[in-house]
Chain A
Amino acid sequence: MLATPAPWETRVHRTVVIGQWVALTIGIVSSLVQSRGSPQSLVAMGIAGAYVVGTALAPEEWFWRRFGVESICLTGALIVLVAMTLTGGATSPYLLLSMGPPVFATVYGGFRTGLTTGILSGAMLTLVTLANGAPVIDAAPALALYLIFVLLVGVIRRLLEDIHQQATTLAEEKESATKRLERLEEIHGALLRLSEDMSAGRLNAIEVAADTLETILERFPGSAGKLAVDGEDGRVVLAARGIPDESGHVYEIPLSTSDTTVGNLELTTAQPMSTGDLAQVAAIIHPVSVAFANLQLLQDIVGSAVVEERVRLAREMHDEIGPSLASLGLALDMTAMQQADHPDVAADLHVLRSNVTKLVEDVRASVADLRNARGPTLTARVLQTTSALGGEPPVVVDLEERRPPRPTQIGELTSIITEAARNAHTHSGASMVVISGQIDRSFGSCSVVDDGVGFDPEHEPEGHFGLVGMRERASKIGATIKFDSKPGVGTAVTVEWGSR
C-alpha cells in the first residue's frame, strides 16, 4: 500500500531535485574548467546529467514504493560514483551532486536509510580513491559531507514531520469541533422548534397519543388500546380508547426509536393480527415514538433549568414576597384599629386587608406548587387506581388533560374520582362506568357516569357511598361536586374546579 506524500514531502522532493540541478551545473562548469572538455569529463557530464534528469522525471510515488527509495538511491549513488570516478574520485566536481542519493534516502526512508546510503556511497568512494592510488584521507571530506548532510536533512525531516503532525491534529480537532458546533446548532434549532410547538399547544403529548391511538383503532375495528410512555415516576398512560375484550388478542408493541424505548402500545384486537398488520401499526407509531423521545429529551434538558429557576422563584416568594405582604396586612390591621372612630375608613381598610390576606394565601399556594410541580397526570393517577378495580363492569377513562391540575389539588381530585368510580363499580350494578372530562391546570370538570341502579341523593345510602367524604375533599380544594342520580336510571358524579 502506497503512503500518500504529505505536502511538505512533495516540496522537499522538489527542493532536492532543484538542488541536484544546481549541483550538476556547478559540477559541469567546474569539470569544463578543470579538464577543458576531455572525453572522460564529457562522458561523466552525460552520466551525471542522466542521473539528475532521471530523478527529476521519476514519479514521486516511485520513492514511496516498497524498497523504492532504496533502489533509486543505490542506483543513483552508483551512477554518480561512476561520474566521479571519471572526473577525479574524491576530488571530483560532482562531489556535491553525490550528496543527492543520501539526501533522497533520508527524506523518504528516514535517518537510518539515509545513513546507510551515505555510508555505502562513502565506502564506494573510498574504494575508488584507493583504486586510483590516492591516499584514503582524500575521501574523508566527502565522508564527512555525507554524514553532515544526512544528519542535517534527518533533523529537518523530523522537525517537518512534527510540525505536520501538529498541524494535522489541529485540523482534525478543528473539524471535530466544527461538526459538534453544527450538531449543537441543529439540536438547538430543533429544541427551539419543539419548545415553540409546545408553547403554542401544537405538540401536546396527550393529544398526539390520542390521535395516534384513534388512527390505529380505526384500522382495526372492534379493538381497544392503551398508549403509555415511560416517565420519571414509572409508566404513564397518555391515552386509552375502547373496552378490551377479554377473549381478544393482546399485543404489546414497544414505542422505540433506533436507540431507546420510550413507552409501549397495548393493543387488544378481536382478530389475530398478521405480520403485515403489525408492520402497519409499527409504521404508524414510529414517528410518534421519535416525537416522544424528542419531547423527553427536551423535557430533560429544559427540566433541569426549569427546576432550578422554580426553586429560586419559590425561595424568593417564600422568603421575600410572602412575608412582605403579610407585614403589609399587619400594618393595615393596625391602621384600621386606629381608625375605629371613622367606620367608613376602617371598613375600606378591612376590605384591603382581606385582599392582602388572599394574596398571601395565593403566594403560599404558589410556593407549594413550585416546590411540588412534577408528578403523574390526573389521567395517569386515575388509570392506575381504577385499573386496580378489575373485572366487571369495565371502567373507561376518557379524560382530555391539557395540563395536570395543581399539585395542591391533584391528590384530592384523584381521591374523589376514584371513590366515585369505586362506588359505581362495586355498588351500582352498572354495565359500564365512564370517567370523562376536560382538565387544564387550575380549572376543569370530571364526571363519573354509570348506568346502574342509581339512588336518591336526598337520602344517602348507609355505609357505602361516602358522599360526605367526597364533598369534604372537594370543599378542601375549592371545588364543587354534584350528584345527579335517580333510582333505576344511573348516577353521574361531577366535580368542577376553577373557571376560565
Chain B
Amino acid sequence: MIRVMIADDHQLFADGLSQALNSLPDTRVVGVVNSGPDLVTSLDSQPAEVAIVDIEMPGGDGIESISVVGRQTKAIVVSMHADDQQRERAAKAGARGFFSKGVPLATLAAAVRAVADGQNLMELSDEERDSLLETYGEAELDPGAASLTPREREILQLLAVGVSATDELADRLYISQKTVKNHLASIFQKLAVSDRTQAAIEAIRLGIARPS
C-alpha cells in the first residue's frame, strides 16, 4: 500500500484527488494539507511514501517544501503552472514527477507507483516517461493482501455483506468457531487492520469483496 500526502489549497481538487486515489487498491491518502509548510509538519507525524504537491498556495510555495521533505517522501508536482521554468525549479528541488492538473487518474496513479518504486520521471523524455508509466499501469496489491487464502477471502466476503458473528461465520463455512478466529487473526495481520469492520471495509476497497 502506497501512502500518499496531498498538498493543495484548492479544496475541491484536493478532495477529488484524495477520493480518486483512495478508490485505487494500492494507494491510500493519509492526509490533505493546503500549504508547503503544513506538508512538512504533517509528514513528521504522518509519514508517506509519496507527496502530491501544488506549486502556488497562499500558505507557502509547494516547491520550496519539496527540498525539505525530499529525504523521506518523494514528491510529484501537480499544478496549473506546468511550464518549463517551474519544471526546472521543481527538478532542482528534488521533485520526481511533474504534471498538469489535467492529468488523468490512471497516469497519475502510475506515476505514484513508479515514484514510490524509486523512479525519477523528471530525468526522462516525454516518450520515455509515457513508456515507463505503462509498466506501472496496473495496481499491485500489498504482499499481505495478495497472500490471502481462498478461505480468508470467503470470510472477508461474508464480513462485507454483514455476516460478522463468529458462530454465524462458522455455520456458513462449516468450520469450527476456533478456526474462524484463527482465520480472522490471519486476515487482520495481512491487511494491517484491527477489527472485523475495518477488515470488511479494506476488503471492499481492495476489490476482494463486494458489499452486496
Contacts and interface: CB of A to CB of B under 8 A. Distances in A.
A334 B102 contact: no
B104 A357 contact: yes
Contacts of B83: 368
Contacts of B103: 326, 357
A237 B15 CA distance: 51
A327 B13 contact: yes
A322 B101 contact: yes
Contacts of B8: 323
A360 B100 contact: yes
A37 B74 CA distance: 128
Given A330-B20, A333-B20, A334-B23, A357 B10 contact: no
Given A323-B101, A357-B102, A364 B82 contact: yes
Given A364-B80, A368-B83, A329 B102 contact: yes
B100 A334 contact: no
B173 interface: no
A356 B102 contact: yes
A323 B19 contact: no
Interface in B180-194: none
Interface residues of B, number: 22
Interface in B65-85: 80-83
Nearest to B24: A337
A79 interface: no
B23 A327 contact: no
Main secondary structure on A side of the interface with B: helix
A352 to B, nearest CB: 12
Given A329-B102, A333-B106, A361-B102, A323 B20 contact: no
A318 interface: yes
B152 interface: no
A325 interface: yes
A318 B56 contact: yes
Contact of B80 (A322, A330, A331): A322
Contact of A360 (B15, B19, B102): B102
A329 B104 contact: yes
A130 B12 CA distance: 110
A320 B10 CA distance: 7
Contacts, number: 71
Contacts of A358: 102
B87 to A, nearest CB: 13
Given A357-B102, A357-B104, A360-B102, A367 B80 contact: yes
Main secondary structure on B side of the interface with A: loop
Interface string B1-33: 000000010101101110110010000000000
Contact of B104 (A325, A328, A333): A333
A473 interface: no
Contact of A330 (B17, B56, B100): B17
A327 B17 contact: yes
Contacts of A368: 83
A328 B83 CA distance: 22
Given A318-B56, A360-B102, A327 B80 contact: no
A353 interface: yes
B20 A324 contact: no
Interface residues of A, number: 27
Contacts of A326: 13, 16, 101-103
Nearest to A324: B12
B74 to A, nearest CB: 21
A359 B102 CA distance: 8
A329 B8 CA distance: 16
Given A327-B16, A330-B17, A333-B20, A319 B10 contact: yes
Nearest to B100: A364
Contacts of A434: none
B207 to A, nearest CB: 10
A161 to B, nearest CB: 63
Contacts of B101: 322-323, 326, 360, 364
A72 interface: no
Nearest to A321: B80
Interface string B103-144: 111100000000000000000000000000000000000000
A363 interface: yes
Nearest to B105: A333
A399 B127 CA distance: 36
Nearest to A360: B102
Given A363-B80, A364-B100, A330 B105 contact: yes
Given A325-B102, A357-B102, A368-B83, A331 B23 contact: no
Nearest to A331: B16
A328 B13 CA distance: 8
A357 B23 CA distance: 20
Contacts of A329: 102, 104-105
A369 B106 CA distance: 29
A323 B80 contact: yes
Nearest to A327: B16
Given A322-B80, A325-B102, A356-B102, A334 B56 contact: no
Given A318-B80, A330-B17, A364-B80, A353 B104 contact: yes
Nearest to B12: A327
Contacts of A353: 104
Contacts of A359: 102
Nearest to B78: A326
A314 B112 CA distance: 29
Nearest to B23: A334
A320 B13 CA distance: 10
Contacts of B104: 329, 333, 353, 357
Top 10 A-B residue pairs of the complex, sorted by shortest distance between their CB atoms: A360-B102, A333-B105, A327-B16, A326-B101, A323-B10, A323-B13, A327-B13, A330-B20, A357-B102, A322-B80
16 contacts: A319-B10, A323-B8, A326-B16, A326-B101, A327-B13, A330-B13, A330-B17, A331-B20, A334-B23, A357-B102, A357-B103, A358-B102, A360-B100, A361-B100, A364-B100, A368-B83
Given A330-B16, A333-B105, 11 more contacts: A318-B81, A322-B80, A323-B8, A323-B10, A327-B10, A331-B20, A357-B102, A359-B102, A360-B80, A360-B102, A363-B80
Interface of A: 318-320, 322-331, 333-334, 337, 353, 356-361, 363-364, 367-368
